[in-house]
Structures are given as C-alpha cells and as structure tokens.
Structure 1
C-alpha cells in the first residue's frame, strides 16, 4: 500500500481549520483514498451529487449533520434527481416519500449546491472540459463526462460525492489517472451498417456492450463521425446500467479514443445481436403508458417530440416526459404548450423509474431508454417495451405497441 501524501492545505482542512464539517468530509475522502491506494488527492473543479436522492433515514442524517457542522461546498456543485418533482408535487403518489425527498433536497441546497436536480448535468452551461478533474456521481453522468467531454472522474457513490464537493478534493485513483483510462476491449460496430444512423442503435448497443464488458473500457470502431450527443448519452447510460461502464472510447468521435489498439481483444457486433437485445429488454406486447427522457431529455429531444406530436391523432395512453428545469425553461412557450396540450405530462427534478409517479395499475410501459427498460421492471414492477421516440409516439396514438 502506498503512503498517502497530503499537502499543507489538506492537512489544515483535516485538522479542523475550516470547521468540523470540512474536517468530517476530509476524513471520508482520505478513507476512500486509502482504500483505493491513492498516492495523493487531486483538486477538482466541480462536483455532481447523487446523495440528494432519498434512500432512507441515513440519507437525511448525513446531510443534516453536514449542515449542522457548517459545511459548504467549495466548488460549483450540481444536484442529481431527487425523490420528488418540486414544481409538480401532485405528480408523486407516495407523499411520505415526497416529503422526505423534499427535506433531503433542501438540505443539499443549504450546503451550497445548485438546485439543478438532473441526471444530465452535461446539458447545463459551464460543463467541464478535456482533462479537467471533477467528482461526479450518477452513472450516466460519469460515463458522459469521461467519454464525451474527456473530463476525469472516478465513480463516486453517495456521501463521497458531497464530501468531495466540500473539500474540493478527490482521491487521485481510478479514472482520475491516465493509465486507468486505456481501452480494454474493442467492439467492431461496422457490421451494423446504416442501423448506426438510427437512434435505436445506441441504447441497444450500450446494453449489449455493458453486459459483455462489465466495468471494462470498450473501444468502439465504426461509430459515424456525425453521431449526436443524445445518441452517445443513450449509449453510455445503457452501458453503465447493464454493466459498470464509466468510460468508453469511440474511434474518430470521442477525444481520448486510441488510434492503435491491435493488442486488444475484438468483438464484432451485428444486427442479430441487437435484435436479440431488443427482445430481452421488451418483455410485453401490451401498452398502458409511455415514459421517455431517461436520462433527462435534452432540448433537442423535447423539440423533436413536439414536432412528432404537432399533427396526428390524439394520444390514447398516458405519456410522460422527464427533463430538467433548465430545459423546461427553454421550452416555455409554444413548444411546452404543444407538448402539454397534446397530453404529455412533463416531469422535472426526478425520474419515473425512481419515484412513484406512474399508476401502480399500469403494468406495461414503453420507453425509448435502455436504462429505463433495464431498471424499471425491478424498481416499479412493470414490463417494458423499448422503441424509438417515433415508435413511442405512434404506439401512444394507437393505444398498442407499434414497431417499425
């Protein structure tokens, strides 16, 4: 085990110079650094905190203790989804959970965090750049920051994330280091051909690759250079859910993708494989509701949904769109009016697979998200159907599953 070296500034924080809250947070960071055999800590420029999602009394106890000790974040800190929609509280069916969630979300705002309440902080202004050290929690945010932005964050769980924000430090270990960011296995996606130009390719590809590599670092060959950030978001979210992927490289697309990888094992991905994945993720042919926007829908995705709903027959089943406050503000006006007038329920601050928003009577739900299709059956006891955004709209209008 390496000796952990602290700077004079870090020793002072640990010794209580900046108060008991900072000292507590530093003890947590140092404990993790020793577990991960880090030689030192690294200064971070931002944090994204997942601890604001309520998981029981311990969530409140820890946050309240930090507040009582006078702790405040010292780097810009965004907040992940919480357990309630603060703008539309009536949407949450479990009001006891909503009350606890509201209390927890408020405590993190008291610590100086920005009340973004989104799982997609990379859609907000001032996102980190290439090589920037950050401490982000939430699996899809981690993989996007590392892969698409080229920032550096390891996987940080609850409590560790806010302690990094309070100290401005994280262990220099894992994906904070250069050597840990090298690819481990190649996936040749070229056999997929034109299917790679469809949005459905990316949640399916992500789920497949995550299932194969676990916590490995995949290198993707054949991804079109014009692939959108929304497609990369969908891929990363599914790969992080089905496996433990925290970084991927897409050759010719992402900033750290290698040019040489002849020494790595290679897997080919074909259409039959992705058709099988779709069958695995689609466990019903019935339809009670539709839920899209996991991770939170971007402005471009919301606009596209509005365009799909502009003309055509009315929706026959409930339709939910999850997005963040920032995007909802951009939509205010004709686009938001169009969505809501078409029958779409816009959810912010949370997500329909982590909070009791959908009716328990709805057992068959369609989504465009590989992550939602992976988690929702276990979390909220539904059968899922995975489709493109256009298929979700067509199905909601027909009142039954419609696949191209």
Structure 2
C-alpha cells in the first residue's frame, strides 16, 4: 500500500502507542481488501461496544492501557443490555456488569455513549460524500443510501481502529465504482401489493435483500414521498435478509440521479413475492396469546413515537401483554419530559434505552407470541431469543395488545 506521511507517523507511534497498534491492524486489513492507500474519515460509529464475550473487553482495554483516544467524533452502537433498567433483563445477570465495563472502556477512549443503532437520528449527521467508518448494518445502509455519505461495512474491532487513527483503506463503498448499481429492480406499487404502507417497506426490503445479497440495487417504483423512517425500515430489513449496505431509489435517494443504469440487468419484483415475504415473517393465527409487542428495531424516532402516541390514545392495554419500545437515551429523555406523550404512559409502554429487545431479552412471559412492526426484529428475533415472532402493522399490534390475543387483520 502507498502510505502518506500521516500513515507513517501513526505507525511510528508519533500519535501514541494505541494509534500505532490500531494503524498496524488497519494496514493488514487494507492489504487484505486490496486497497492502494488510506483516506481520512470524519466520524466513526462503534459496534464492538456490544458485549459478546471477554474478547470484547480485552480488545478495548488494551487500547485504554496504551493511552488511546479517538481522533474523530465517535458514537457507540447499542449495548447488550439496558443497564438503566436492569430489572427488565431476563438474560444472564452477569452480563450487566460486563456490559457496564465495556461501555466505560470505550468512554475512556473518548467515545460518546450514545448507545443507539440509529445515530443518524441525532442532529449531527454525515453529509453527502463525506467519508466515515460506521458499523451497525442499518446505520451503514441508511447513511450510504439516504444521506449519500460513504462508509464500507465495518465490523467489530475494525471500527475502533478507524476511530483511533482517523484513517481507513480506500476500499469497498468508499470507492465510486463500488457504489454503482449491479441490478435494477422494478417494484410493485403499494396499491398493487394490497399491503398497508408500514408493511410494504419492510416486505420490499426483505425481498430485494434476499434477491441481491451483498450487491447494490437500483430501485424503480418506490414511493417518492417515502419518509426517512420508511427508508430506515426498508434498509434495515434488506440488511438483515441480504447484507444490504447501499441502495439507490429513483427520485428518492440523493445519488440515484447520478447512477448509470444502461446495460444493468433489470428484474421485476412481483406483488406475490412481496406478499410471500410478509407471510414468512408473520406466522400467527388470529386469537393466539400475545406475550409482548416489541417496537424500535431500529431505534424509534420522535416521529414514530408521535404515531404510536396517537395509536394508543384513549385505549387500554391488556395486563397479559407488555409493550417495549427501544430508542436512544436522548429521544427517551425528550419523550419523558413532554406531556404531549401522556397517552404512551397511560397505555403502559416501557421505553428501553441503550439496547434493542431482539438482542436483550426483556419479555417476562415465556409463552405466547412477540409482535413487532420491524422486519429486522421478525428476521432475527426467533434465532436470538428462541421465541415466535410475528410482523404486523402498528394498528394491529395495538389492537392485539388491548386484548392480549392476535387481532384480525383490518
């Protein structure tokens, strides 16, 4: 690789022993990726802060012991448990202290303890064309696609090395060539599928994620008024079913107009495929017992809380069914202090922070279904939690929570 003066300085320890160690690892990583040189980044988002075992702590502690400090603004992804509400945790009790240790180590390195999988819902967001090193699958696809910033798929440990050096190899989706579409999907309209709008985006993302795993699709026919929350749901589901890291949507996403599609293979997504995706993610019979409704995968935005607040206003939840909504600390604080969201409190909604409930078990009732509006949760939840999960509209989830039983579709 061709190294610039800053790269040589980092390797030589001129910016500290921690940065030197991180840079040495990145050189090996860049060589494996076939990169010719490094580029600077403006920010990082760390996924290695989610406790998976002792190696997570060992890796971070080594950099702390070497006196490391991140060289760019760096945020933290979700943790393995909501340490603010440890009483809700239904997993191994020792993980609470281990997660607290891992989070504290990252804070010592200068990372901001945002502990959210949707840091793009904060005020400071990457700009179009800006190079960053972000981990967390839904965040990667969102900033690449919806914001037009540039990150490759960074995973645990590589993300922290990038933050400690402010450098990444010019590889993957940092490169112009890698961002060009490899397939064009003609999508059915919402009306053609007959699906409610909030199911449509999850289902479409699930289909093209599976049909184009790990490549960049160009979408035609996506509603041009798609909101950020809808694009968030689409990208998160596609990242779950097919490692989606970037999509272009005609008339919707910022880079789509600049993308050449002549000669790119064109495929059609049929309404039948979209309906089949919903059926695969919602294997539930009307009248089945509902243990819980889990929302906020990815983390809920203020706008989504407003929709939920309206949906539950004046209604009563069954004592048999809990409702958990995952979000960031910042958004949770805004909700807690705003009387406009009193309907949420009256309905008995539990707001989970710092984690996602498809990772951290919080549902106390061991029998019955878990309902969700998230395609990502419906995809990962059964394997992670060993529970049956069903994808439904928000309205149907709320009606089911009222009775404690799966409500009929509208």
User: What residue number does 1:263 align with?
Assistant: 263
Find out whether 1:374 has 2:371 as its counterpart.
Answer: no
Find out whether 1:40 has 2:37 as its counterpart.
Answer: yes
**1:118 counterpart SS class:** coil
Distance across 2 between alignment mates of 1:49 and 1:85: 17
CA contact (8 A) 2:41 2:131 kept: yes
Distance across 1 between alignment mates of 2:361 and 2:95: 9
Residue 13 of structure 2: which of 11, 16, 19 is its match? 16
Find out whether 1:131 has 2:129 as its counterpart.
Answer: yes
Pair 1:67–1:336, CA change in 2 (3 A)? farther
User: Which sections of structure 2, spanning at least 5 residues, go unmatched?
Assistant: none
1:337-379, CA deviations, whole angstroms, 9 ceiling, x for partnerless residues?
4323311111000011111222261441100000000001000
**Structure 2 counterparts to residues 3-402 of structure 1, below 5 A:** 4-93=1-90, 94-193=92-191, 198-258=197-257, 260-285=260-285, 286=288, 287-316=290-319, 317-331=321-335, 332-359=337-364, 361-402=366-407
Distance across 1 between alignment mates of 2:83 and 2:340: 21
Distance across 1 between alignment mates of 2:384 and 2:401: 23
**2:123 counterpart SS class:** coil
Name whichever of 153-162 and 385-394 sits farther off. 385-394
CA contact (8 A) 2:314 2:343 kept: no
Name whichever of 257-266 and 89-98 sits farther off. 257-266
**Displacement, 1:197?**
7.3
User: Which sections of structure 1, spanning at least 5 residues, go unmatched?
Assistant: none
**1:357 counterpart SS class:** coil
Could you tell me the TM-score, scaled by structure 1's length? 0.96
1:273-304, CA deviations, whole angstroms, 9 ceiling, x for partnerless residues?
11111111123333221101100011100111
CA contact (8 A) 1:192 1:269 kept: no
Pair 1:362–1:74, CA change in 2 (3 A)? farther
1:211-265, CA deviations, whole angstroms, 9 ceiling, x for partnerless residues?
1111011111011211100000000000000011100000001011146523122
1:154-184, CA deviations, whole angstroms, 9 ceiling, x for partnerless residues?
0001000011001001110000000100011
**Displacement, 1:312?**
2.3
Could you tell me the TM-score, scaled by structure 2's length? 0.95
Distance across 2 between alignment mates of 1:196 and 1:6: 53
CA contact (8 A) 1:377 1:384 kept: yes
Pair 1:360–1:72, CA change in 2 (3 A)? farther
**Displacement, 1:333?**
2.5
Distance across 1 between alignment mates of 2:196 and 2:236: 18
**Displacement, 1:13?**
0.8
**2:168 counterpart SS class:** strand
**1:200 counterpart SS class:** helix
1:121-154, CA deviations, whole angstroms, 9 ceiling, x for partnerless residues?
1101110010000000000000001000000000
Distance across 1 between alignment mates of 2:313 and 2:203: 28
**2:28 counterpart SS class:** helix
Distance across 2 between alignment mates of 1:190 and 1:205: 9
Pair 1:139–1:121, CA change in 2 (3 A)? same
Distance across 2 between alignment mates of 1:60 and 1:335: 41
CA contact (8 A) 1:143 1:246 kept: yes
1:41-97, CA deviations, whole angstroms, 9 ceiling, x for partnerless residues?
110000000000001000000011111111111101110000121322222123211
Name whichever of 386-395 and 158-167 sits farther off. 386-395
CA contact (8 A) 1:49 1:158 kept: yes
Name whichever of 245-254 and 94-103 sits farther off. 94-103
Q: CA RMSD in A?
A: 1.5
Distance across 1 between alignment mates of 2:394 and 2:205: 17
